[in-house]
Structures are given as structure tokens and as C-alpha cells.
Structure 1
Amino acid sequence: MDFLVRLGLAVPLIQAPMAGTSTPALAAQVCNAGALGSLALGAIGPDEARRQIADLKSRTDRPFNLNLFVHATPQADPAGERAWLDALAPLFREHGAEPPAALETIYDSFAGNAAMLEVVLEAKPAVVSFHFGLPGPEAIAALKAADCLLLGSVTSLAEAEMSLAAGIDVLVAQGWEAGGHRGVFDPDARDDRLGTLALTRLLADWGKLPVIAAGGIMDGAGIRAALDLGAVAAQLGTAFIACPESNADAAYRALLASDAARRTVMTRAISGRPARCLANRFTEFGERPGIPPVPAYPRTYLAGKALNAAAKARGEPLYGAQWAGQGAPLSRPMPAAELVAQLAAELSLT
């Protein structure tokens, strides 16, 4: 399979889904510029997913990617969750608020989610991608019957082998450098923290599925390096955060444009799963010795979002989920279509 030919892509580039930051407008601009735009459905429900897909379709007739989270459904842990909320309470009170009374599962996994599967099948996207794991065989069969190309995010050869067995068509090799949530299938298992270049080369040498490189890539030279290692394309997320079409707020953009971009941290404290973030007051809290174990994803995220809202109301932006990869200092603010053209030009010169 020729990945670029099947999707009619002029540039070997995928805009990463980035739940909470990417928008239908961003995905459409990327698609119309000749790359593959992505819309994140993992943190929203079926009704909002339908609305956003309709918005995207009104802006482009090009192929696009719908991304879904396939995490394990969390179990409530009243004692552990109470300890976590108690640990956060001083931070809430510092900003004139109280923590939530209890944690909740704020959005559902795609695993076994018949309502969200129906939404995706109605949309008939050219591409469907998965993060955190793999859906069951019935969902994969239904999506393949709808002629969707299936992408699976992996961080190791073992996850790649599982993806092949499940029927995934293309691997997204997510390196340790990548911003946002780490795509490990089991967040409590040992993580070998393979970098993007090493992982891409390992999977390309394995040779059983096409590979898309993801993590730390910000320009045409980075895309070229990935292609030279055997990738069929590169997936960029942090590079698109500063685009005006993204949903990043002013504080997030300002941090990305400052010296703060030079330091990113992998943290569980904000959401309950490992995620790479610009170092801020929340990541500092997550590194404190003696804090309780972080509860499960996405239940922990309820408290993380509430704390950020309370802090922002008092003018403090440094409790946000300001996800960013290690290439963040290379960020360039410009419209998404211009960025795609710039990346394509840089790629042609390398």
C-alpha cells in the first residue's frame, strides 16, 4: 500500500489530533493544503463529535482522520481519590476555590462504545486512528468494511505486534519526545522510553506495517530524517499549536513563544496518564515528594481541569494542560495552510 497515493496527499504530513487543542478549522486547513488533518474525538461525546465532524466536512472535501481514545475503563478508588483531592486542596484554596467533592469518569473510552462507533461509521472518514490501545475485533471489522484506513499509535515493537494482530493498517511510532499523552497501552507497565528516531527505525526494519514517525518533529528537516529512516510520513502536533486555527488559549501560546518552551516534563498529575507538558506549577506539584499516588485516567482529569479553571479565574495560567513536545522551541506561529506549505518547501530542500 502506498500511503500517500491512497489518501491523495501532496505532503507526507499528518497534523496530530491533539484533543482539546485541534479544531475542525485546523484540520480542514491542513487537509486543503495537501496534508492529512486530524480531528480528535477522544475527549468528547457522540453529539459533540457529530457537530464537529459536520463542521469539518463543511470546510473540506479532502480525506481526514478521526482520532479515538481506547483506554481501559477506570475503576473508582474512593480512598485513593479522596487522598488526591485532599493533596490538591491547598492549591485550590490558594485560588479561592475548593476541589471537587469526588472524581468522576469525564469521558468514555472507544472500547465497546457503540454510540461513538455509530458516529464514526456515519462519517465514513478516510482514516481512523487510535491512541492508548486497540478497539475490539467487531469495531475494527466494521471500520474496515466502511473502507477506513486504520492507524494505531504505538511506543514499542510489542505494541506494534499487537496492532498487526488486531488488523491495524499503519503504525504511528510515538517517541518519548512527543507532546501530549503518551500512547502506551498499559501506563503502569515498564516503558522503555524509545525516542522517535530509534522507534521509527526499529519498526521500519521490522517491516510488517507502514510507519508514521511522531514526536519532536517540527520542520522539513525533521520530516526528511523520518522518511530517511523508513517512515512513510511524519505526524506533527506541537508545530500546529501556535496556528490561529488551534484552540490554544493566549497563555498557552505565550508560554510556547517564550523560554518556557525549552523545558517539558512528563507528568501524570494533570490527567492520570503520562503526558508531556510545558513545565508549570502543576508539573512542579506532580514532582513533589510524598504526594499520594495519582488516580486513574481520565478521572484525575476532572480535578486537573477544575484546578486550572480556578487558577485562570485568578489570573494564574500555570496550572494548564499545556502539552508540548521536546521540539517546542522550534514552534512558528502562522496559519496552518502556510505552515504546511513551509514544511513542504523545507522538505523539498533537504
Structure 2
Amino acid sequence: MWYQTKASKILGIQYPILQGPFGGNLSSVELVSIVSNAGGLGGYGAYTLSPQEIIEINQQIRLATNKPYNINLWVSDTDAADGSVSDEQFEKARQLFKPYFDELGIALPGKPAPFKARFENQVEVILHERPPVFSFMFGVPSADILEQCRRLGIVTVGAATTLDEAIFLESAGVDLIIASGFEAGGHRPSFLAPAESSTMGTFVLLQLIKEKVKTPVIAAGGIANGKGVAAALVLGADAAQIGTAFLATAESNATPVHKQMLFSDAAKYTTLSRAFTGRLGRGITSRIAKELVQQEKGFLPFPLQTQFMSHLRKAATEQEKWDMILFWGGQIAPVLKHVKAGDLMRSILEETTAYFDHLKA
């Protein structure tokens, strides 16, 4: 059967379908459990959570499903040297974004407090709580952490945006590698070179990795239905990860407006931009992203830009100025059909099965 792959065996799941683990409070325990209970792998993005919050979320997921699930962290969660920026750099950002704050009638915020990296404390919780699957992006954990995961029976999954990153992940000994194409919504999880140099499509990246790497590969980016899953499997993927289609469902923690946008005509147009967080990410095209192209030198490093822009986002939301907000989403959004996660999962499985049954006929 099409679903009996190396990935489904390693992950201990029935179907090699992974739900993308959304960070920034977009994941939900309900969505994770629906996907896992249906035989796939639900995922929870935890990079913004404190260690105690991760413990609590992990316990909630365990109560909601007895099937495997995935918790995701960011190995590198800051681009700011010493967690801060100079007064000069901050003033440059203030002047660049001042017209937008003025338009909303709000004051420019003060300089963000220094940010302290959280990954070391977060990963201690992973090793203590032992979720079935631990995925990570923006780098590779230390050899010691990966060895502890192996000893504890935690499956490790790393994200690559280039062939070089996939080779690096394999040499580190991860169990599975995500081939993250540039069609995907959300941040580009590049870690060996600037994200701007990793704009390769999922199916090209997948084929390049399969030529050079023996570790099972998960295709991610531009997949939202069974046809996409079948195409990925035909090209050698051992599983497919689906983000935007699950983000748009009622059970995700995205706002109602965000979900409406993913089903609207606006979703036909997406942009890769650093304007909202300081790291390159794809979302529905916004006025700010368009107007500030080539202005990246004026942005603050991640996550200080996120903190800075949170004030603008709050005011724009209250005033319903949606063109000033980044709504994460991938290029595949215009084909979305399902608003319930269970219906989406059933449809994916039916379409993929129908494709492979047709080949046998």
C-alpha cells in the first residue's frame, strides 16, 4: 500500500501525512489530536513557549491522543547579537516604519528589551517529557542532544531548504529530513546560507536530496491535497507535510480573519518578506511587504522586529486594516476546499488512495 513507507514506519503512524507545526500561537491541541487520531502525525509549534508551557501543552496532547505526535522548536531563535540592537539601528527602523504607525494613529514603541535565546531550556523539557517526535528548524541540535533523543526513543526530524542542509542533517544523524520548498507558507528555515538563496521549489529540492541522501525525506511546501501527496511520493518522498491547508481549518488557532483570508481572492498573491519578523517568511501579500521591498537593511533582527511590529499589528487588527498585517500562507492556498480538519484528512487519504488504485487498474 502507498502509505507503508519508511517514514510511516519510523514515526509509528498509519499514513505518512504530517500536519505542519505552526509557531506563534497558531497551533492547537485539538488540531494535533485530530490529525494523529486519523492516522497521520499532528504537530505543535512550540518555539515561542516557555518550558512550563511546553510541559502543559505536551500533557494536554497526551490526554487528547494516544497516537504519535510532533513538537517543534527552533534551534536558532534570535539573529540579534547579544539579543539587542544599537540605538542607531533602532532609530533607522523607527523612521522606516513611522508612516505606518502614523497612519494608524499610534505612537512608535520604545526599543525592544534584549532577547535571550530559549532553545537550551526548551530542549531540556523535550528530553524530560519525551514526545514521540521532536522536529526542529533553523539549525541542528548538538550531537549530545541528538544522542539523548536516540537513547530516549524520540524520533528526530530536521528541516532543509537546500541540498547542502540536507547533507548536513544526514551527517548529524537525524531520523528524517523535511525538504522545505519555497512555496511553503511561514518562515524559510534556512541555516547554512541566507534564506534568500534557498528559493527552490519542493519537488526540485526533493529530487536533489533523494539523489544524494539516504535518510528518508518528507516533502513540504505546495501540498494541500491527495494529488500533491501522490506527486511527492512518486518523486521519492517518504511522507508529505501539509501546512496551509490545516492552518485554514476551524481547529487551528489562527484568527477567524486569517482563515477567511486564506479562502479569499487575496490568497492568490503571496510574498516572501522580512518586514514583519526580521526573518524571511511567506504570507499573503500586504502593502507593507510590497512597499518595503529592498529596505531590509532598515529592519530589526529577528525576533526584535516581531516585537516592534506587534504594536502595529494590534492597532491594524483593531482598525481592520488587513493590508497592513501579514497573514501566513503558502502559494497553494487558492486550491483549499476544507474548513474542518477531519474532512481535510479524509479527503487527502481518499484522493491519494484513488490515485494509486488507478495505477493498478
Post-superposition CA distance 1:98-138 (Å, at most 9, x none): 2220124557352xx1x212211222111111111111222
Report the Cα distance in structure 1 between the residues aligned to 2:74 and 2:108, rounded to whole angstroms.
26
Answer yes or no: is the 8 Å Cα contact 1:66–1:128 preserved in 2. yes
Partner of 1:337: 342
Partner of 2:359: none
3-state SS in 1 of match to 2:109: coil
Letter in 2 for 1:344: L
Report the Cα distance in structure 1 between the residues aligned to 2:196 and 2:284, rounded to whole angstroms.
24
Answer yes or no: is the 8 Å Cα contact 1:14–1:234 preserved in 2. yes
Post-superposition CA distance 1:251-282 (Å, at most 9, x none): 21121111101010000001001100101123
Partner of 2:67: 62
Partner of 2:19: 15
Report the Cα distance in structure 1 between the residues aligned to 2:323 and 2:57, rounded to whole angstroms.
28
Residue 93 of structure 2 corresponds to residue 84 of structure 1: yes
CA gap 1:208/1:304 in 2 versus in 1, 3 angstroms = same
CA gap 1:140/1:6 in 2 versus in 1, 3 angstroms = closer
What is the 5 A alignment of 1:88-107?
88-104=97-113
Letter in 1 for 2:299: V
Letter in 2 for 1:250: P
Runs of 4 or more above 4 Å deviation: 289-292
Residue 221 of structure 2 corresponds to residue 212 of structure 1: no
Report the Cα distance in structure 2 between the residues aligned to 1:189 and 1:35, rounded to whole angstroms.
29
Post-superposition CA distance 1:65-91 (Å, at most 9, x none): 010001264212222122112221221
4-13 or 125-134, which deviates more: 4-13
Supply the RMSD in Å over aligned alpha carbons: 1.8
Structure 1 position 286, deviation (Å):
2.8
Aligned with 1:34 (options 28, 31, 39): 39
Structure 1 position 292, deviation (Å):
4.3
What is the 5 A alignment of 1:1-350?
2-19=6-23, 20-71=25-76, 73=78, 74-75=80-81, 76-78=84-86, 79-104=88-113, 108-110=117-119, 113=120, 115-186=121-192, 188=194, 191-287=197-293, 292-350=297-355
CA gap 1:190/1:265 in 2 versus in 1, 3 angstroms = closer
Letter in 2 for 1:174: S
Stretches of structure 1 lacking an aligned partner (at least 5 in a row): none
CA gap 1:99/1:164 in 2 versus in 1, 3 angstroms = same
Report the Cα distance in structure 1 between the residues aligned to 2:58 and 2:342, rounded to whole angstroms.
19
3-state SS in 2 of match to 1:245: coil
Structure 1 position 295, deviation (Å):
2.0
Q: Which has the higher helix share?
A: 2
Letter in 2 for 1:81: F
278-287 or 198-207, which deviates more: 278-287
Report the Cα distance in structure 1 between the residues aligned to 2:296 and 2:158, rounded to whole angstroms.
34
CA gap 1:257/1:105 in 2 versus in 1, 3 angstroms = farther
Post-superposition CA distance 1:178-222 (Å, at most 9, x none): 110001104637614211000111111223211000001111000
CA gap 1:303/1:348 in 2 versus in 1, 3 angstroms = same
Report the Cα distance in structure 2 between the residues aligned to 1:175 and 1:138, rounded to whole angstroms.
29
Post-superposition CA distance 1:271-304 (Å, at most 9, x none): 00110010112322432x5574322111111112
Answer yes or no: is the 8 Å Cα contact 1:176–1:195 preserved in 2. yes
Stretches of structure 2 lacking an aligned partner (at least 5 in a row): 356-361
TM-score scaled by structure 2? 0.91
Report the Cα distance in structure 2 between the residues aligned to 1:72 and 1:51, rounded to whole angstroms.
21
Report the Cα distance in structure 1 between the residues aligned to 2:183 and 2:232, rounded to whole angstroms.
14
Post-superposition CA distance 1:40-88 (Å, at most 9, x none): 1112211221221122111111100010001264212222122112221
CA gap 1:30/1:163 in 2 versus in 1, 3 angstroms = same
Answer yes or no: is the 8 Å Cα contact 2:274–2:296 preserved in 1. no
